[in-house]
Amino acid sequence: MLIPPLCNESRLDHQGRLSTCHLETGHPGPHEDARGETWEPPGVVLERLRKTWGRTHRIAWTGSLWMATAYDRTSHWRTEIEPTPDQLEERLRTRAKAAPSPIPRPRASGLDATEPR
C-alpha cells in the first residue's frame, strides 16, 4: 500500500512551538497537526488581516512569523512581530488603544489648538 504524501504546512503555536500539518497534500479546509489543532492556510489569514489592518499597516507573513508595520512613521509602535496571527491582532488592538493621540492642528483663526482662548 502506498502512503500518500503529507501536506507538511507548518506554523508556530501560541508557545512558539512548531506544528506541522499531518493531512494529505492538497486536502480541503484547514490544516491539522498531530494533536488535532487546526489552523487556516496562511494565504487566507493574510487576506483577512490585510482587510482589517491594511489601511494603517503593511501586513506580512515571513513563513514562520506574522509582521505588521505601521505606515505612519511617527507611530509609537511601528513594527509588531508575533508567532501567530491571533497574537498579532491582539497586539495591534492593544497598541492602537495605547498609542498617543495625534497633535491637534492649528485652527484657521491663527490660534494654536493648544492655546487657551
Tens digits of residue pLDDT in 59-106:
999 988 999 999 998 888 889 999 999 999 999 998 875 444 444 555
What is the value of pTM for the model shown?
A: 0.69
Tens digits of residue pLDDT in 2-58:
888 989 888 888 788 888 999 999 999 899 999 999 988 888 999 999 999 999 999
For the chain, the DSSP string reads -PPPPB---EEE-TTS-EEE--SBTT-SSSEE-TTS-EE--HHHHHHHHHHHHTTTEEEEE-SS-EEEEES-TT-SS-EEEESSHHHHHHHHHHHHHHSPPPPPPPPTTS--TTS--
